[in-house]
């Protein structure tokens, strides 16, 4: 690596005719310098366009002005190529933007347990951990290193921690299920994921509560997150054997697409015989034919909420706790009896 030019504190000190200590104290408004010296140093520094080296500065444990983002579900899948998976790419972009708007940087960091970890990982000011799992080792690692973090999605790794921002999964599920019910569906299947995160847990709990309340029998099937469309097809194949339901609510858009394909190939009409929807909107869902009804969790708002909370935690200012943000349910052709 070529060495960078980099103006150092020494250059400023020389130009201002003071010691490097004076420069540091002046620029950070500390110590007991005279107003005059302080002003002069600041002026000189500004003229030279001096900027303190972030690394040397961080070495003394000043905040780095940068946070990390860990996407646990993608760590689990082992692939970060997000083709057609809207939620995480929207979340990622939104988090970067939210961080930037607050004057801090944001880095996507892969599985903190895989080695080698990216060099920076443990020098960041804090983390947003998306959908941690029960006993999540990444959460443990962050706690070991005393790195502040907030969870995006309920923090099932630390049920007592109040520092999380989540979509209102109960509301989402109720919206979809009410919609199904009002179209006359009685046998409604939930297709969930297998990761032990808050989203899966809360969606299933909400589903069970709703079915119990409606006096309908719950039927839950699961497909691994990583299986994608294939997972949806496998689940649908089982449904074809066990009994075709009136409606299917899939956790992910890709599962929904798989279910759609498998059912249609077997001659089951969607939405004619079976209604279909997904709890997380995606390009897949929107461009499927028929387009699949979906819940938009508004990852942009979630990202902003999480970044705000983390920012507060890092700076020791009071923050909102256990935040649940509303979602939107978009009815599309796959669940419209009229269509």
**Residue 32 Cβ vs a second copy, minimum distance, rounded to whole Å:** 23
With CB under 8 A as the contact rule, which of the stretches 35-43, 121-129, 203-211, 269-277 interacts with a second copy?
Answer: 121-129
Pick one of 117, 181, 240, 331: the residue that binds a second copy (CB under 8 A).
117
Contacts of 329 (CB under 8 A, 6+ apart): 172, 175, 176, 179, 277, 293, 294, 295, 296
List the one residue from 34, 79, 83, 287 that touches DNA (CB under 7 A): 34
Report, in Å, the least distance between residue 98 CB and a second copy: 9
Q: What letters, b where the CB count within 10 A reaches 16 and e where it falls short, cover 306-318?
A: bbbbbbbbbeeee
122, 291 contact by CB (below 8 A): no
Beta bridge partners, 323, equal: 165
Contact call for residue 9 and DNA (CB under 7 A) = yes
> Is residue 1 a contact residue for a second copy (CB under 8 A)?
yes
Task: Round to whole Å and give the CA distance between 178 and 188.
Answer: 11
Which of these segments, 80-88, 187-195, 250-258, 321-329, binds a second copy (CB under 8 A)? 80-88
Q: What's phi and psi for 87, nearest 5 deg?
A: -50, -50
Phi/psi at 114 (nearest 5 deg)?
-65, 140
Nearest distance from residue 140's CB to a second copy, in Å? 13
103 interface partner picked from a second copy, DNA, none, CB below 5 to 8 A per type: a second copy
Q: What is the dihedral of CA 19, 22, 27, 30, to 10 degrees?
A: 160
Q: Which does 33 bind (CB under 5 to 8 A by kind): a second copy, DNA, none?
A: DNA
Helix ranges restricted to H, the chain? 9-16, 20-27, 35-48, 54-59, 72-77, 86-101, 137-144, 169-182, 198-214, 228-242, 253-265, 283-287, 299-315
Applying CB under 8 A, does 119 fall inside the site for a second copy? Answer: yes
Out of 30, 116, 215, 338, name the contact with a second copy by CB under 8 A: 116
- For DNA, the binding residue among 39, 48, 56, 220 (CB under 7 A) is 56
Which residues of the shown chain bind DNA in the complex (CB under 7 A)?
6-10, 17-25, 27-28, 30-34, 36-38, 51-53, 56-57, 59-60, 62
Interaction site with a second copy (CB under 8 A): 1-6, 51-59, 61-66, 80-83, 88-90, 92-94, 96-97, 99-101, 103-110, 116-123, 125, 144-147, 286, 300, 314
């Amino acid at each position: 690596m070529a060495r960078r030019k980099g103006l150092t504190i020494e250059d400023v000190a020389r130009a201002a005719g003071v010691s490097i200590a004076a420069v540091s104290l002046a620029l950070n408004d500390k110590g007991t310098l005279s107003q005059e010296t302080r002003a002069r140093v600041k002026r000189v520094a500004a003229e030279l366009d001096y900027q303190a080296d972030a690394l040397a500065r961080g070495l003394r444990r000043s905040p780095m002005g940068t946070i990390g983002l860990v996407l646990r579900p993608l760590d689990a899948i082992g692939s970060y190529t997000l083709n057609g998976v809207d939620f995480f790419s929207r979340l990622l972009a939104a988090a970067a933007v939210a961080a930037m708007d607050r004057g801090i940087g944001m880095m996507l960091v892969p599985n903190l347990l895989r080695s080698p970890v990216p060099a920076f990982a443990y020098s960041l000011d804090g983390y947003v951990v998306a959908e941690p799992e029960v006993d999540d080792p990444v959460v443990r690692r962050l706690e070991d290193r005393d790195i502040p973090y907030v969870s995006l999605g309920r923090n099932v790794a630390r049920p007592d921690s109040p520092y999380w921002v989540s979509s209102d999964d109960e509301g989402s599920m109720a919206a979809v299920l009410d919609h199904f019910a009002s179209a006359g569906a009685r046998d409604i299947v939930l297709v969930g994921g297998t990761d032990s995160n808050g989203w899966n847990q809360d969606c299933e709990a909400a589903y069970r509560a709703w079915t119990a309340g409606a006096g309908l029998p719950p039927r839950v099937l699961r497909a691994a997150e990583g299986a994608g469309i294939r997972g949806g097809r496998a689940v649908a194949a089982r449904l074809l054997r066990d009994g075709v339901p009136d409606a299917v609510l899939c956790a992910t858009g890709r599962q929904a697409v798989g279910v759609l394909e498998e059912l249609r190939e077997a001659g089951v009409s969607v939405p004619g015989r079976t209604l279909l929807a997904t709890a997380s909107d995606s390009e897949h869902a929107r461009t499927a034919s028929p387009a699949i009804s979906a819940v938009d969790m508004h990852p942009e708002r979630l990202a902003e909420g999480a970044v705000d909370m983390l920012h507060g935690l890092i700076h020791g200012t009071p923050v909102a706790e256990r935040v649940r943000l509303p979602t939107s349910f978009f009815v599309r052709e796959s669940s419209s009896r009229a269509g």
